[in-house]
Structure 1
């Protein structure tokens, strides 16, 4: 089973871990195996599900590789009462839905000629050739329906040690798809331990101009995932040192501020949100937010969250009139207020001038205090005899300011009393 020399004890432990994995023992995935494995065809789970299970990470999705041709996968799945969708038939991929869960099933492939991402491939039955097409050794791991590991490229040891290494020649792997530069750093940030692989890092540096050929959508998708990862801070520092981060984001980076933000991980889960991370990392001036949104093709909602955090930062940096938790909540909402606070806190921590106790209290207040809600509406004034029109809005604004100055404490009745006197 392991002719490549993989440590037998290590592989035995891996077999045991995989065999006990809930996702592999589930009726849903076993039904997919039963449908595909006919007429001598084999199927094995591949890649992320194996890696994550062995490292103790959640398994968000399960990909399956098979010797069966795509049209056979479609027919067999439907004959078994499963839904089959030809999501990528040209590339050999069929999405099989079993008990409500989607599984990407892809026929084994091997390169015939290579033209970057346009490599001409053929379907095959050789598991080693299929593994050689993949990016990193820790992703070239397979397991059958019983959980028995197949490790054709000796990636198990790398996986368990947190070593992220390209398969074969790193330069060649990257030239096949320059997104693998970002994937190298993202996989390292999520699963890596110790130092980054020097050979892979050198290849990323040599091939960095290839990043400029990638679409904004692909860069944005990969950067979001990288920013969420456990070791994003050291990964981004290396990217910045190699000149890769400036290409990816289109501008300079505040690495120390980002590192300080991630130093607050234990206090606030928001520190791993890409929108906040990008404000801290790339927000030197307000115009930088537009640049980053465009460069990474962020959604309108993501851009709005970044701009709200920026506005809160400006408010908090005003030493003359420091805002209360209630005023921040009223003006910016809970998420915006917390984002802005964390961004300012990180910046001051990076400069070793943060009052952690004060910021900690304010963060707690922002989490537990109710968002103030102005108790009066124009209809209330009209019902009391105030004529509608422009003056109504002005007077309502005046009463709102009175309410704010009271610390948001004046009730509807007290505000109405001010109107009637």
Structure 2
């Protein structure tokens, strides 16, 4: 039997305590899914899900008897959340489908590990490990995992019809853990069933697309989606896949290039209206929408003004975060379109400077002008704007005292 040797999390006291609480009266428990897959691949593990032969009511009772907090978060579907040492673990009773109706299925609880595995989505997600590190691989997921092959369990089209989100999950999992050309049967099934994407909620699509866009192989997966007619259905418009690939080619230069708002701005941002559409289509937060728009505006600034205008102007006009985003987008545009108006070394130096330079802070406020005798009202705004332009023209070097002197000089004839 294969063993999972690269899983220190499995032997932590908090995890073993959960196993010990569940495994009574002959019941078994095994970690399953993403945690096992990631451990095999040497990828960090965040969430640990556990499958068990124990009924959910027994899981609740045993966990509480062991002094652990237990919540019936999805008890009707067999899921109990156990909290051990502050960490939550989702524990789900083995299940098997009796009938399926799209996303809905009539299930029964069981004790058969292989039947439980057959109702999961991909073979690499149907791997189990017991508390001692022994692997259980009923469907050949271990070899698929090691070879980077994302393969549906059973008939791919049937699995997709059960939940059309599995189309996006396929591309997301391939982008994160796959290698080479995607599984042919899976790709054909996703293409045949692509119209089902139109029936998914914006929240589910957005959550999946965020994970896909930030995965290491996102550029390849997104291009394949485009080639198969899936991407336009998903985003609701034309995408800039070449520009997106260029952005992700800068992953080694900046962590921002894998952050979803910047990815979406690059992928779909021809004009601001496109970003508004993506924001609604993926149900992005207001902060995410704002970042996309600010990034696109800053990118235009860099294309039109830099390097003639200094980086302090970008920081003043857009702020540090948007200026960095905009520079990365402008850099990616150049890479994608082979324009030679700035070298990589110039962008690298500019990126470093944007992270280190102080954001220019206009040192004058309306109260300062009122103290000089400027009458309250529109004249204050006019004077402030004139002083700001003088401050910018000086390269942001005029101090508050300098600017007060300029203001006092311009006001003297009328005083």
Shared fold, TM over 0.5: yes
Q: TM-score, normalised by structure 2?
A: 0.95
Q: How far off its partner does 1:321 sit?
A: 8.5
Counterpart for residue 349 of structure 2: 361
Distance, in Å, in 1 between the alignment partners of 2:147 and 2:4 is: 17
Distance, in Å, in 2 between the alignment partners of 1:291 and 1:40 is: 54
The answer to whether the Cα contact below 8 Å between 1:316 and 1:322 also exists between their aligned partners in 2 is: no
The one-character-per-residue Cα deviations of 1:60-84 (angstroms, maximum 9, x if unpaired) are 1100111111111111111211111
Q: How far off its partner does 1:357 sit?
A: 2.8
Distance, in Å, in 1 between the alignment partners of 2:223 and 2:247 is: 14
1:36 to 2:25 alignment: no
Higher deviation after alignment, 146-155 or 234-243 = 146-155
Distance, in Å, in 2 between the alignment partners of 1:383 and 1:335 is: 35
Counterpart for residue 416 of structure 1: 404
Distance, in Å, in 2 between the alignment partners of 1:319 and 1:381 is: 32
Q: How far off its partner does 1:205 sit?
A: 0.6
Counterpart for residue 64 of structure 2: 78
The one-character-per-residue Cα deviations of 1:379-415 (angstroms, maximum 9, x if unpaired) are 3333444443332232222212211111111111111
Report the 3-state secondary structure (helix = DSSP H, G, I; strand = E; otherwise coil) of the residue aligned with 1:227: helix
The one-character-per-residue Cα deviations of 1:126-172 (angstroms, maximum 9, x if unpaired) are 10000000011000000111111111112111111111101111111
Counterpart for residue 7 of structure 1: none
Gaps of 5+ in 2: 410-415
* Structure 2 counterpart of 1:370, from 345, 348, 358: 358
How large is the RMSD of aligned CA atoms in angstroms? 1.5
Gaps of 5+ in 1: 2-10
Higher deviation after alignment, 79-88 or 355-364 = 355-364
* Structure 1 counterpart of 2:210, from 224, 233, 236: 224
1:93 to 2:41 alignment: no
The one-character-per-residue Cα deviations of 1:240-259 (angstroms, maximum 9, x if unpaired) are 00000111111111111111
Report the 3-state secondary structure (helix = DSSP H, G, I; strand = E; otherwise coil) of the residue aligned with 2:63: helix
Q: How far off its partner does 1:38 sit?
A: 1.2
The answer to whether the Cα contact below 8 Å between 1:84 and 1:97 also exists between their aligned partners in 2 is: yes
Counterpart for residue 197 of structure 1: 183
Counterpart for residue 96 of structure 2: 110
Q: How many residues align?
A: 407
* Structure 1 counterpart of 2:107, from 117, 121, 125: 121
* Structure 2 counterpart of 1:248, from 234, 254, 271: 234
The one-character-per-residue Cα deviations of 1:329-366 (angstroms, maximum 9, x if unpaired) are 11211110111111122112111114223322222221
The one-character-per-residue Cα deviations of 1:33-59 (angstroms, maximum 9, x if unpaired) are 111111111111000000101101110
1:302 to 2:291 alignment: no
Counterpart for residue 158 of structure 1: 144
Counterpart for residue 5 of structure 2: 16
Aligned residue runs from structure 1 range 295-374, under 5 A: 295-318=281-304, 322-354=308-340, 355=342, 356-374=344-362
Distance, in Å, in 1 between the alignment partners of 2:61 and 2:9 is: 24
Higher deviation after alignment, 325-334 or 185-194 = 325-334
Distance, in Å, in 2 between the alignment partners of 1:320 and 1:95 is: 53
Higher deviation after alignment, 409-418 or 302-311 = 409-418
Higher deviation after alignment, 223-232 or 350-359 = 350-359
The answer to whether the Cα contact below 8 Å between 2:4 and 2:40 also exists between their aligned partners in 1 is: no
The answer to whether the Cα contact below 8 Å between 1:67 and 1:107 also exists between their aligned partners in 2 is: yes
